[in-house]
């Protein structure tokens, strides 16, 4: 390589590396495709968590795309009733080891809890996002789900 061009080439590579690193957040470089990706892009971000509405949640459910639905309440609440298809993953049990056992690595995750006032889904979304998962928080939870006339699975 020409010695005069070498410093310019190194500078160009460094700029590309910096831009690439700056853009590697879960909602840019790794955003899922399809409806889930669109909903993720539209979702309101509150306290570092992407929150989705009932309508957005239903778009995901009706799209037929792969995702994992997590009820993050305790086991007793889960047994009383859950959104159909949900798995129980109590927020207090979420850590790297349990997440690796429970969740497929690349599949987007939707978490929910009891209602808009319940902090469990936000806490779970933060924990799972910190572990590298793509997470959406359906804030309406069980309360909104049933108010919209949907059944619970028992």
Q: Detail the DSSP E strand segments found in 5-152.
A: 44-46, 49-52, 68-71, 87-88, 109-112, 135-138
- Tell me the chain's radius of gyration from C-alpha atoms: 19
Read off φ and ψ for residue 82, nearest 5 degrees. -145, 160
CATH no. of 31-147: 3.40.250.10
Residue 39 pLDDT > 70, yes or no? yes
Residue 15 pLDDT > 60, yes or no? no
Contact 143, 115 (CB under 8 A): yes
Give the predicted TM-score (pTM) of the model. Answer: 0.80
Banded pLDDT at 33 (limits 50, 70, 90): confident
47-91 residue pLDDT tens: 999 999 999 999 999 999 999 999 999 999 999 999 999 999 999
- How far apart CA 94 and CA 99 sit, in angstroms, is 6
């Amino acid at each position: 390589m020409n010695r005069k061009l070498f410093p310019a080439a190194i500078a160009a590579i460094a700029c590309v590396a910096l831009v690439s690193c700056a853009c590697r957040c879960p909602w840019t470089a790794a955003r899922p495709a399809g409806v889930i990706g669109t909903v993720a892009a539209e979702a309101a971000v509150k306290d570092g968590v992407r929150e989705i509405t009932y309508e957005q949640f239903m778009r995901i459910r009706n799209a037929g795309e792969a995702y994992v639905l997590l009820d993050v309440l305790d086991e007793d609440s889960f047994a009383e009733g859950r959104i159909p298809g949900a798995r129980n993953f109590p927020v207090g049990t979420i850590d790297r080891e349990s997440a690796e056992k429970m969740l497929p690595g690349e599949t987007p995750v939707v978490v929910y809890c009891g209602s808009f006032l319940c902090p469990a889904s936000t806490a779970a979304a933060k924990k799972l996002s910190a572990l590298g998962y793509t997470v959406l928080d359906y804030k309406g939870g069980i309360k909104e789900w049933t108010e919209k006339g949907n059944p619970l699975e028992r």
